[in-house]
Amino acid sequence: MSFLNTLRQWDKAVGCAEQKNTETALEVFLDIEDKNSKISYNIGCLHLANGDFDAAEKAFDFSIGKDGHLAVAFAQRGITFYKKEKYEEALADFKLALKELRDNNLIDYSPLGLRYKLHACEVLHNMGLVHAQLGDWEKAQENLFSALARKAEAKFKHIDLALEAILKHKLFELAEIRPGLLFKPNQKYVSELEKKDYLGKAKVVASVVHQDEFSGFAPLQPQVEDVPSTPIRSHSLRALKGEPHTVLYEFYPETVEELAVLPGNVVFVLEKGTDHWASVIFNERRGLVPYNYLRPLDNTLIHQHGQTEDPGESAGCLMKVHFLYTVVITVLPGIPYRTLLHKISTKLNLPASVPDETTPAITQVVALHSYESTNPEDLQFRQGDVITVLSKVNADWLEGRCNGKTGIFPASFVQHLKKDH
């Protein structure tokens, strides 16, 4: 089975599991020929949730055989052994899971596609429970004291309750991974599975301009000579709140409260929680994103709390530049054109070249074939139309004006207009 087919079935199985259709999910997973450690782990989790402990044990065995450092697989197999009342085997697996944590308090599996953090304190909690089942109350107490010392968050109150139970020589509940948490395939690869049009229409994914839909080539624009001394702050700019951050990693939501973002997106952080999740605004939508996926972005236009919104006090205005990619710079109103050109070239890391100010000769061409516009930036014309060429985009495309409209068109569709035309 090819990598693409494996990826397609993996994604389909995860989708079935999210729809609570575990039987179909298992069938699709088991039909995959080349199962990696993550897929085998998912199979084990589904068997474990269904109460089929023998099948779960075999699946976790295969997962560990493929990746001997997958701590979460050791933890799940330990839970499986515990439910089968194989306490010695369960204790051995919990110890191996703790070893693979390598003295860290947790492992966050989100970058690998599993929305779960394996905490050392919960592994120690389960080790204490196994010792209690074996009648070694002293070892159980020792493990729970270690778990208490490595408790990273206040949500692990069950560790305190477990310690109280151990002191009374009573058993307590096993710490389990929530059913339904599965490894997902890399969404970047999944999103490419069904794409056919590699030169399709572009889409704006991040912009500071309200309801920005622009995604093509803008025609040449005349320079504005009379710039107002006081910049006009748009409603959307006044609405920007929070601290601007750049997204470092791809994140796909698991719940309705979370927000999907891609590397390079600019989000505005409204609040950073103690659980390392941030409440952000992106494209006028509010949601949660892991804060360690973000990096602060300097922006002189984002006012500090308590600052007035008087337009007269603004230090500058935002200017969006469309190039091979879109960049945003801060400029002062009324700055000279050469200064603006230097600022843009510095941002794009390209040499600044001031165009010749002499008026270029007007070039006209005649259409050899009709050209239908397929994009907003294209220039539509009919065979025989005379087109005034404004600029050369590249070797294959020109920019021109015809019938009162401006746009780009293929150079192969026209030829130079003869003087006696």
Which residue did the predictor score with more confidence, 275 or 146?
146
Amino acid letter, residue 315:
A
Amino acid identity for residue 401 in this structure: R
- Give the confidence band of 260 by pLDDT, cuts at 50, 70, 90: confident
Domain count of the fold of the chain: 2
3-state secondary structure of 5: helix
How many CB atoms neighbour CB 352 within 10 A?
13
Residue 223 has pLDDT above 70, yes or no: no
Residue 266 region by backbone torsions, left for phi larger than 0, else alpha for psi between -120 and 50, else beta = beta
Stronger pLDDT, 226 or 279, i.e. the higher one: 279
**What was the pLDDT predicted at 215?**
53
The pLDDT score that the predictor gives to residue 44 is 95
- Give a yes or no: residue 33 inside a domain: yes
CATH of the domain at 370: 2.30.30.40
Domain stop point among 107, 132, 167:
167
pLDDT of residue 214: 52
Confidence (pLDDT) at 312: 42
Calculate the average pLDDT of the chain: 80
CB 389 within 8 A of CB 400: yes
Domain end: 120, 139, 167, which one?
A: 167
Find all residues with CB under 8 Å of 54, minimum gap 6, and list them. Answer: 84
Query: What is the domain range of residue 397?
Result: 363-416
Q: Report yes or no on 407 lying in a domain.
A: yes
| Residue 282 counted as domain residue | no
| Beta-bridge partner residues of 397 | 410
Of 150, 167, 184, the one marking the end of a domain is: 167
207-212: average pLDDT: 52
The Cα–Cα gap between 42 and 34 comes to 14
